[in-house]
Amino acid sequence: MDNHLKNDRAAWIQGPSAHCSVIPSKLARAWRLVLLGAPGVGKGTQAERLCAHLGACHLSTGDVFRAAAANRAAAATPAMQAALECMREGKLVGDSTVWELVRERGGCLRCNGGFVLDGFPRTLRQAEALQLLMKEQGVALDAVLDYELPTDEIMSRLGGRRVCPACKAVFHLVERPPQISGVCDLCGGRLIQREDDRPEAIAVRLEAYESATQPLIEFYRKLGLLAPISAEGTPDKVFARTLKALHVTA
């Protein structure tokens, strides 16, 4: 994909009936990657940088849900309707519904530009299903990048995060503090700490992640696809490690 053109990912965000505004040309190397990592490791930042560097498309399940909540996801498939119902009730979208949403978008997996899959799979069952789906699409994963960070560092990163409900800007008490304590630099709104960024909530999130993901990590390790990457340090340092793991030049 030309670096000066931004793919709106319409087929991913809206569903199989939509068409992306930019159709990537076939690359000499179309990378197909899965990103794993606990909350707070910076996985989303690395996904965006990888997509810009490799010309791949960022396929984030979180983006699908956010677009749906903002009424920008047009395809009212049964899976999307089920996901919207869960979100309206304040519930987590179930594994089977998430899988159906990904399966509906199977064509995105064989896109000429490749992809960076972020937020899926989250369980062993989903990983096995993804392998079968990719086989049906005639493509295969190149690597599964597993970003690792000590628990105390994750607690520090998430516990210090503050967000602006008005403009969605994100700050950090240590790494990116606002100019005025408790006030958003961009819109002047009052900064808050999200409920799921409180220490007790973080502990629950990490325990749930570890329980669900460990079998997944073993699955990809046995397939020879797993690439563990330290997420300590700045995003630049983590990205340099990522490219080294993929044997890609900066």
Give the model confidence (pLDDT) of 92-111 as tens digits. Answer: 788 888 899 999 999 999 98
Q: Which of 9, 49, 161, 162 is catalytic?
A: 161
Query: Tokens in use for 128?
Result: 């096995």
pLDDT at 4 over 50: no
Is there a catalytic annotation at residue 222?
Answer: no
Percent of the chain with pLDDT over 90: 53
Q: What is the pLDDT of residues 192-231, one digit of tens each?
A: 998 888 989 889 889 988 888 899 999 999 999 999 999 9
Is there a catalytic annotation at residue 122?
Answer: yes
Q: Is residue 23 part of a domain?
A: no
Q: Which of 66, 103, 205, 221 is catalytic?
A: 205
Q: Is residue 8 part of a domain?
A: no
Q: Is residue 86 part of a domain?
A: yes
Q: Which of 9, 32, 43, 157 is catalytic?
A: 43
Q: How far apart are CA 158 and CA 137, in angstroms?
A: 38
Average pLDDT over residues 148-165: 92
Q: Is residue 117 part of a domain?
A: yes
Query: Tokens in use for 104?
Result: 């509906």
Average pLDDT over residues 149-168: 91
Is there a catalytic annotation at residue 194?
Answer: yes
What is the pLDDT at residue 73?
A: 47
Q: Is residue 187 part of a domain?
A: yes
Is there a catalytic annotation at residue 162?
Answer: no
Q: How many domains in the chain?
A: 1
Q: What is the pLDDT of residues 57-84, one digit of tens each?
A: 999 988 888 777 776 545 578 888 888 8
Q: Is residue 212 part of a domain?
A: yes
pLDDT at 1 over 60: no
Query: Tokens in use for 90?
Result: 């304040």
What is the pLDDT at residue 2?
A: 42
Q: Is residue 102 part of a domain?
A: yes
Is there a catalytic annotation at residue 161?
Answer: yes
Q: Are 148 and 229 within 8 A, CB to CB? A: yes
Q: Are 55 and 112 within 8 A, CB to CB? A: no
**CATH number, position 203:** 3.40.50.300
Its domain, for residue 72, covers 30-246
Q: Is residue 11 part of a domain?
A: no
Q: Which of 29, 72, 176, 194 is catalytic?
A: 194
In sequence order, which residues have a C-beta less than 8 Å from that of residue 144 and are 6 or more positions away? 33, 34, 35, 36, 220, 225, 226, 227
pLDDT at 143 over 50: yes
What is the pLDDT at residue 7?
A: 77
3 confidence band (pLDDT: 50, 70, 90): very low
Residue 97: how many other CB atoms lie within 10 Å: 19
Q: Which of 9, 32, 49, 122 is catalytic?
A: 122
